[in-house]
Structure formats: structure tokens, C-alpha cells
Structure 1
Amino acid sequence: MVNLILGNCPASWGVRWAGAGPRPPWRRFLDELAGAGYGWLELGPYGYLPTDPSRLNDELARRGLRVCAGTVHGCGGLHRAGEFGDMLARTRRAAELAAGTGARDLVFVPVPGYRDEFTGAWAESDKLDDDGWKVLVRTANELGKHALGEYGLTLSVQPHADTHLETVAQIGRFLAETDPAYVSLCLDTGHVAYAGGDPAALIAEHPDRVGLVHVKQIDPRLAIRAQRESLAYGQAVALGACCEPPHGLPALPPVLDAMRERGQDAFVVVAHEPPPGTEDAAAVAARTRDYLLACQNQ
């Protein structure tokens, strides 16, 4: 019997990374996460939750919570060789905390991307030349080697809108050129759908490369508006581009089916991204859990 283990993360409470809007106090997040019926979490941006493993483990145990993955944010330049030192330092500190809580995965979110999240200003081209791709692949492999060799964690890179890893073609190339011994994929359903892809088909095509899944849905009307008005993803999120399941895209039952068909247990982490100032995160998290459990039982 294949188990899809449900978790959630700080992003569902509006906690993305430094400067991306107000954050609820971390104790409130943990209390509400447990109250919504979740037993697992991804840690989210380093520094939001306590960074001392002993203290964090005590806080989690008090609420009956366990950690499935750590998270690396804030270093999106996988294709910039000169930033490797900073990326490695950020990866190591997040990995040390994740390993200290018993996690098995380290999710690498390649942000910031080629556009400013808040203004939409272009920081660089959305296309990489072959040299840029070679650096990106080499960097991912090297970070994966450190995560596994030093901390026993699988590096799971998450495709993300407005980065050089967002389209189905880019994801396919990334998986073809990275080393499966060191690099896995954190497949985010919303980001794949936002870029016009089919996450269930990607899982079916690359069943052995998907380490875990982030679940979110996108309002197709706002995705079309973002494309028409050339909005950055962060600007679209501020307008409500991420919507509560089952009211957006992609359809989630096929995604869960594709994960089950791989024949192995997997974490399914809710990663809803509400507009800034949203006050009903706990209620949305609880309803999403109920919906996903109902999908699994169909």
C-alpha cells in the first residue's frame, strides 16, 4: 500500500522569504498547523523557525509535528558561478538544521529569479545560453553532493515561475543533465501549471526523479491576466493567483494518482501562497487537508 504523507509549510501562511510581506509569529504558525490536522511540515525560509535544532525539536514535539524537509531560499543564481560560495553556505546552514530534525529532503527554491517579485522589473534575460546551463547543472550537482555527503539529505530542486527552471522543456533538460544520485525534483503543481505544463504527466515521465510534491492551485484567469499584462509571479500572487483547492488548476486527483503509481511512499506538501494580509490561512489549510484526503480515498 503506497502512502502519500500530507504536510504543509510556512508558505501557506504567507511566509515566503525575506521582504515578501508580513509573517505571522512562528509559534502561531506551528499551533495552527497542528490544529489543522497536519503531522508533518517543511521548514520554510531559514530563520523563520528557531534555528537551534534542540529548541526546534522541542517545539515540534510539543505539538506532535515532524519535519519532512528543510528549505533553501534566497540564492537563485544557480547559473552564476561567482555566487557558488554563498549558495553553498546557505545550503549548508539549512541542511544542518533539517538534518538535526530528522528530515530526509532539502528543497532548493531558485529564487530570486530573473524578475523582481514586487515591481516586475527585469533583472536579466529569461533565457540561458549553453554556458549558463552548464553552470546551472554543475552547481546543482555540487550542492546535491554536499547535501547528501555531509548531511544525508536529498537535494530536491523546485521549478519556480520567473526563474530559469519553470517550463516543461527546462525541467526535462534539467533532469536529463543533472546526476540522479545527487539531484531530485520538488515538483510544485502550481508553478508547473502557471507555466502551462501538466504536473501529472511530468511525474509519469520522470517517476524516479520526483522526491516530493508541493501542492498548490492557480486561478487560470489570473494566470492569463499575468501573461497579458506581463506581471511578475509575485505580483500575480498579490492579486490572488493561488487559489484554494479544488477551485483552480491543475486538477489534483491525477497528480496524486501519478504519485501513487510510482509504487513508493512520498510526501505531498501543501504550499499555498495567499495574498499578503490573508487571515484565514489555518482554515484554508484544514479544508485543503480534508480535500486531499478525500481525493486519496476515492
Structure 2
Amino acid sequence: MTTIDPAGGPRLHLGSCPDSWGVWFADDPRQTPWQRFLDELSGVGYQWIELGPYGYLPTDPARLTDELGRRGLRVSGQAVGAPLHDSSQWESTLAEARRVAELVTAVGGKFMVILPGAYRDEKTGASKAVRELDAEGWNTLIRNNDELGRIIGAEYGLTVAFHPHADSHVETQAQVERFLHDTDPRYVSLCLDTGHFAYRHGDNVGIIEKYPERLGFVHIKGVDPEVLKVVDAEDLSFGEAVKRGVMAEPPNAEPKVEPIAEALRALDRDEVFVIVEQDLYPCEFDVPEPIARRTYDYLRSVGIGGDQ
């Protein structure tokens, strides 16, 4: 397979994360053991890793540094679940964010990815919140994202990137654009998950081109358009959609990667982290590695990760 050598533009650092091995939770017997995940990740050829749910990988910085170093892996950042629309959870969310930030900085990471609170349960699909926020809830969401970004940036030097997510209050293109308009760019950037954005029929290339200065981080993946038709028709929960295979590997998925890679290479910056995050929970332990290998080879062929 021929690798494209991008002419100019930012370096597109290619990595992956536990999600691509079917990991959604810190501890779940249906998930790939963390040692196997790290071995397979590095064996595929990845050199960058997003750490995944806090507690899945070792949280002692010295041990984690050793485990990653022995496998030639470097850290891009880590995600934290942050139901910032709910003011009653502010203190616990901030405490969790600080705990994650301490680990990320200790192992040399640069980003904290904010996963918003969901309106449906990840495992059961049961409704647990209103689907759309009222004015007060939206203002709380905006205010708390700005404040969390300010604190984490000032205290830990990390870039905070908000991740629009299926079954959350910021999932459609209109909601994402409203969120970017209302939040402070000094404190909040965008983690564009191409699969989640396509899941709600957003225009990935369009959002990159319209808000180039807000893009902080990319999760690269796609959806199976045929499965998505069923998801839309039956209003399936995201967890159920994943079980039915809605997240598909490239190039047999939407959106197509090549235009996204071109849009990223047009950005005026030195580097962009592009992390493969193909939702597979739950899956058999021997499923992720062949998918990861094919995805790695394909993404490099279209100019992502050529220089790692």
C-alpha cells in the first residue's frame, strides 16, 4: 500500500485508544484486558495513545510510563465524563477532571477530551434526562465548560476539547455550532469525532472549514449508512446502535476519510492528533486487532500518520 506524503500542512499524528478494543468502562469483564490492549496497539504500529476511561490502564504515573515506554507509546491525552449541564455534579466533575489532568500531565499528554452527559444510559438505553436542554440547562452547560476549560488550562496546561456525542445534548450540527458560538475559544476547543458527527448527519469537512481555529483534536471513524437508517427509523440508543455495528471501519464507512484528511492538512498549525476511536463495546477479544491493523494501514495510505 502506497503512503501519501502530505505536502505542507500540519503533522497528522495517528493514534488509537481503548475504545477501538471495545473498552467503554474502567472495569468490565467483557472488555479486553489492558495488557493485551497495549500489546496489540503497539504491535499494529501505533505510537500514540489516548488513555481511555480512568482506571482501565494503570493510574500510577511511574507504572503507566513504564508500560507505555516499553511498547514505544506516547500519550496524546485522555477523556473524562463531564455532565456539565448538571450544576449539582460540578464539584464531583471538577474533582474527576483534576484527577485525570494530573495523570495526563505526568505522562506527557497535551489534551483533555470532555465527554458530555448522556440523555440515555450507555448500557440499557433507558432515558435518564431530557433530550434537549432548556435555556437554563444550556447556559449551565456553556458556563461550566468555559470554567472547566479555564481551570484545567491554567492549572495543568492542557487543551480542553469538547466531544459532541451521540445521545447527548450536543450531537447535531446545529447544536455543535451553537455550542462553539456560545463557548469561549480561549478555554474550549472542539474534539471532532467524525463518526459521532456523521451519526447525526453532520458535515465533517464543513465544520472543519467553518471553525478551523476551534478544532483541537480529532477522533476518526465512520458509520455504516445502512445500519444508520435503522437507527434513525427506530430511534435506537447509541449503545444498541453500536451492538448492531453502526460504527464501521474505513473505507467502507461514512464520512469518507480522504476529504477530511485534506481539510486537516489545510489547517494553519504544526500538528493535529487524529485518534482512531471505533466503538466496539462489547466484542470478543480477538475482534479488534485485525480491524485496527486494516484501519492503521488505510489511514496511513491517505496521509494520516505518515510521520507518526
CA distance in 1, matches of 2:57, 2:171: 28
Does the Cα contact within 8 Å between 1:14 and 1:21 map onto a contact in 2? no
The corresponding residue for 2:186 is: 181
1:256 counterpart (258, 261, 266): 261
**Following TM superposition, by how much is the alpha carbon of 1:38 offset from its aligned partner in structure 2, in angstroms?**
0.3
The corresponding residue for 1:291 is: 298
CA-atom RMSD in angstroms: 1.5
TM-score (norm 2): 0.92
CA distance in 1, matches of 2:124, 2:28: 12
Does the Cα contact within 8 Å between 1:7 and 1:270 map onto a contact in 2? yes
Letter in 2 for 1:213: V
TM-score (norm 1): 0.95
**Helix, strand or coil: the match of 1:170?**
helix
**Following TM superposition, by how much is the alpha carbon of 1:21 offset from its aligned partner in structure 2, in angstroms?**
6.8
Letter in 2 for 1:99: T
2:199 matches 1:191: no
CA distance in 2, matches of 1:62, 1:20: 25
After TM superposition, the structure 1 = structure 2 runs for residues 96-111 of structure 1, keeping only pairs within 5 Å, are 96-111=102-117
The corresponding residue for 1:69 is: 77
CA distance in 2, matches of 1:186, 1:151: 19
CA distance in 2, matches of 1:16, 1:217: 18
1:281 counterpart (266, 282, 288): 288
- Please list every run of 5 or more consecutive structure 1 residues that lacks an aligned counterpart in the other structure: none
Higher relative contact order (CA 8 A, sep 6+): 2
CA distance in 2, matches of 1:203, 1:218: 18
CA distance in 2, matches of 1:239, 1:142: 37
2:216 matches 1:216: no
Letter in 2 for 1:293: R
CA distance in 2, matches of 1:16, 1:254: 29
Does the Cα contact within 8 Å between 2:22 and 2:282 map onto a contact in 1? yes
The corresponding residue for 1:47 is: 55
The corresponding residue for 2:251 is: 246
| Larger displacement relative to structure 2 (270-279 or 22-31) | 270-279
The corresponding residue for 2:4 is: none
**Following TM superposition, by how much is the alpha carbon of 1:115 offset from its aligned partner in structure 2, in angstroms?**
1.0
| Larger displacement relative to structure 2 (120-129 or 91-100) | 120-129
**Following TM superposition, by how much is the alpha carbon of 1:201 offset from its aligned partner in structure 2, in angstroms?**
0.8
CA distance in 2, matches of 1:161, 1:136: 16
**Helix, strand or coil: the match of 2:165?**
coil
Does the Cα contact within 8 Å between 1:109 and 1:157 map onto a contact in 2? yes
CA distance in 2, matches of 1:280, 1:124: 33
Letter in 1 for 2:262: D
Does the Cα contact within 8 Å between 1:240 and 1:275 map onto a contact in 2? no
Alignment length (residue pairs): 295
Change (3 A) 1:18 1:48: closer
